[in-house]
Amino acid sequence: MVFHNLMEEIITTRVPALFEEAARTKVDWLSCSCPQCQADTICYVLNKVPPKYIASSRGVAYSQQEGLNEVQLSVDIDSEIIQGMKHILSRKRPHFETSEGGDSATPAYNFPAVVGKVLNGATFEPIFDIQVSLYSKGNLVTMIDNTWHNPYNILEYTPGTFTFWPKPEKADASGIKKLFPMELRITAEGYEPVHHFFDIQLTSESRITKVLNTNNMYRVPDIFLFKQQ
């Protein structure tokens, strides 16, 4: 059975339209309308609005009875999108680096995204306003492009969660196994600093890949911070 979120369809349609409208009317807060900013806005809004799932034509009919297409809901969604646009565009961040394509015919070690959570050791609640850095052999690991940050600042709207995607490393040939030592350094005001070590073992592939595989992420066990004594 396939499930479909009607809100995703509406928002992915309205976001580009509202970016175009903002550009046409020359609003003073529109500093960028690149595909990355639009994608970030879509994700931001989808994470804020309740989903409306359907699995059949009966579900479509039911959603109509709930008033999914009523004018008020449309206004509310547009309002959320405008807020999302302003939020994304207010963040000081580098723009998406363009590449020559998804793959390059060079043998390489393609890293998975590294994902984890930082929790309060006393309350087990996610922590924000902290910095997480990914190192390898004492050096900051270079990310795949400028949309991935290292160090990573965990903010209030993504409490506890950090993500990294290391840049592929060229290999002499495909099929070669290699162990990459990694270290997470975590600092937060009022908490004991943490150094978490782990290894990622990779087998070199025939091509450099720049397509994120969300089914092949390296998930770090939950890390707990404790207050300084």
Evaluate if pTM is beyond 0.85: no
Q: What amino acid occupies position 35?
A: P
pLDDT (tens, 9 = 90+) of the chain, 229 residues, equals: 566 787 888 898 899 999 999 999 999 999 888 888 888 899 999 998 888 776 644 444 444 444 444 445 567 889 999 999 998 888 755 444 444 444 567 899 999 999 999 999 999 999 888 999 999 999 999 999 877 899 999 887 778 899 999 999 999 999 999 999 999 999 988 999 999 999 999 999 998 887 777 678 899 999 999 998 8
**Structure confidence at residue 67 (pLDDT):** 45
Closest by alpha carbon to 146, among 42, 48, 221, 34?
Answer: 34
Closest by alpha carbon to 68, among 113, 26, 5, 136?
Answer: 5
φ and ψ at 223, to 5 degrees? -110, 135
Q: Which residues contact 171 (CB under 8 A, 6 or more apart)?
A: 107, 108, 109, 178, 204
Opening angle at CA 147, ends 88 and 166, nearest 5: 150
**Structure confidence at residue 62 (pLDDT):** 43
**Structure confidence at residue 7 (pLDDT):** 83
Closest by alpha carbon to 19, among 44, 6, 37, 7?
Answer: 37
Q: Which residues contact 148 (CB under 8 A, 6 or more apart)?
A: 163, 164, 165
**Structure confidence at residue 136 (pLDDT):** 97
